[in-house]
């Protein structure tokens, strides 16, 4: 099938455009998304195409706009709420956790909440503690929410399209440093289901599980190790909830060694939960403890050098791969 190279943000726009054309109940609200086409240019051109009823700017009122989105979803629409920084989604946590996540179950399955909250997180631009967090663990922990973290344009498009067709609240977590990255996106209808991991690079010696911006670190580490004859398998879960456990366990059964890379702070992160699943269900397949490479347990510093030191870099992943291969007998 033919494919074109698109930027991550262009792939997202295509997804929104196609789904808005296909389904009149899809609409999008957020700060600066209409007139300005979005701070990350994801919604450029959509106001002109779909009009102000379906592409709306909001005031700076995250709790309000998230509440509006959840309510609209309950009432039968398919809203996308764009929150500029995942850090600000905290203002709407009651709506997300106590309302959106619970509504279907509390109504005995009668009520559905097809609400998509699109936001971005991540460090690297010197925008400091309140604008650089990776908070997927908070949403991962709440039953009733789906957590989606695409790493490449094709996945971004396919997963967002699926999000806008399914029935449950989705935390669609983009990364600020992925918006301008490029990748091939298949032509035509390209929908990626939830709960299906993607092997970004096949290998037989070590499994590196990574998502969002850490996938590129994992790929760089894999390339460096390949020069030494070590073939790393890079597994991108794409959706953390639902998690493709079967793919993870199959990869572990094949390689016997696992490194999990997460940009988020180590403590209470998703990597720890994945590691616990692996040790419980694949204990006898492991030749070494599961290695986790994660952010330091600190807020992201403003200073650029300190910021870089506070999240995983490629060398950190390489060091973990060596540890899990017992290449460093002192470890």
Partner 1 sequence: MAEAILVPQVGQDLTEAKIVAINVKLGDKVAKGDIVAEVESEKATFEVEAFCAGIVISLPFAVGDVAPVLEPLMHLGAAGETVGGTLAPVALDPVAAPAPVAATPQPPAPDLPAGRQRSSPLARRIAAQGGLDIVRLTGSGPRGAVVLRDVTAALQGSILAAFRPAPGVVSLQNGRGIPVVFLHGFGGELAAWRPLVMRIGVPNPMVGVDLAGHGAAPAASIASFAALVDDTAARLAAAGLSHVHLVGHSLGAAVATALADRTDMQVRSLTLIAPAGLAPGMNGGFIAGFLGARSEAALGIWMQSLVHQPSSLPAAMVRATFAARQGTDAAARQTAIAAALFEGDTQLFSIRAALLRVSCPARVIVGREDAILPAAHGLPPQIALHRLPGVGHLPQTEAAGLVARLVTETIHSTGGTPAAA
Q: How far apart are CA 262 and CA 212, in angstroms?
A: 9
User: Please, which residue, 104 or 217, has the CB nearer to partner 1?
Assistant: 104
Residue bearing tokens 């509504």: 103
Q: Interface residues for partner 1 in 188-247 (CB under 8 A)?
A: 204, 242, 245-246
User: Please, which residue, 60 or 246, has the CB nearer to partner 1?
Assistant: 246
3-class DSSP assignment, residue 140: helix
Q: How far apart are CA 16 and CA 118, in angstroms?
A: 11
> Which of these, 221, 223, 273, 219, lies nearest to 248 by C-alpha position?
273
- Answer yes or no whether residue 59 interacts with partner 1 by CB under 8 A: no
For residues 297-308, one letter each, b for 16 or more C-beta atoms within 10 angstroms of the residue's C-beta and e for the rest, the string is eeebbeeeeebe
Decide if 116 contacts 164 (C-beta within 8 A): yes
Total number of residues that touch partner 1 (CB under 8 A): 24
- Answer yes or no whether residue 35 interacts with partner 1 by CB under 8 A: no
- Answer yes or no whether residue 283 interacts with partner 1 by CB under 8 A: yes
Chosen residue from 70, 116, 232, 282 binding partner 1 by CB under 8 A: 282
Q: Interface residues for partner 1 in 309-328 (CB under 8 A)?
A: 326, 328
Site track 242-281 with partner 1 (rule: CB under 8 A), x = hit: x--xx--x---x--x------------------------x
Active site residues: 131
Tell me, rounded to whole angstroms, the distance of Cα 36 from its chain centroid. 25
Site track 129-148 with partner 1 (rule: CB under 8 A), x = hit: --------------------
User: Please, which residue, 228 or 287, has the CB nearer to partner 1?
Assistant: 287
Q: Interface residues for partner 1 in 96-125 (CB under 8 A)?
A: 104-105, 108-109
Contacts with partner 1 by CB under 8 A lie at 104-105, 108-109, 204, 242, 245-246, 249, 253, 256, 281-288, 326, 328-331
């Amino acid at each position: 099938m033919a494919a074109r190279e698109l930027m991550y943000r262009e792939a997202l726009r295509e997804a929104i455009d196609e789904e808005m054309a296909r389904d009149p109940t899809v609409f999008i609200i957020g700060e600066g998304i209409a007139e300005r086409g979005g701070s990350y240019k994801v919604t450029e051109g959509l106001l002109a195409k779909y009009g102000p009823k379906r592409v709306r700017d909001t005031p700076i009122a995250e709790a309000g706009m998230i509440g509006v989105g959840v309510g609209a979803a309950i009432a039968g629409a398919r809203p996308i709420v764009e929150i500029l920084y995942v850090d600000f989604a905290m203002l709407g946590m009651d709506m997300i956790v106590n309302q959106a996540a619970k509504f279907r179950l509390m109504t005995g399955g009668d009520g559905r909440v097809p609400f998509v909250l699109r936001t971005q997180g991540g460090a690297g631009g010197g925008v400091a503690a309140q604008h650089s967090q990776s908070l997927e663990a908070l949403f991962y922990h709440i039953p009733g929410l789906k957590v989606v973290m695409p790493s490449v344009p094709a996945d971004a498009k396919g997963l967002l399209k699926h999000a806008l067709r399914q029935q449950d609240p989705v935390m669609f977590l983009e990364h600020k440093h992925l918006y301008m990255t490029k990748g091939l996106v298949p032509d035509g209808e390209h929908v990626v289901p939830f709960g299906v991991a993607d092997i970004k690079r096949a290998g037989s010696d070590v499994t590196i599980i990574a998502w969002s911006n850490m996938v590129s670190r994992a790929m760089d580490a894999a390339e460096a190790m390949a020069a030494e004859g070590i073939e790393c398998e890079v597994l991108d879960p794409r959706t953390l909830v639902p998690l493709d456990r079967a793919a993870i366990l199959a990869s572990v059964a094949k390689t016997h060694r696992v490194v999990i890379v997460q940009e988020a702070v180590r403590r209470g992160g998703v990597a720890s939960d994945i590691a616990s699943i692996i040790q419980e269900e694949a204990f006898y397949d492991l030749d070494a403890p599961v290695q986790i490479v994660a952010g330091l347990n600190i807020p992201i510093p403003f200073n650029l050098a300190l910021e870089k030191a506070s999240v995983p870099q490629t060398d950190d992943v390489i060091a973990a791969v060596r540890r899990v291969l017992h290449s460093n007998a002192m470890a």
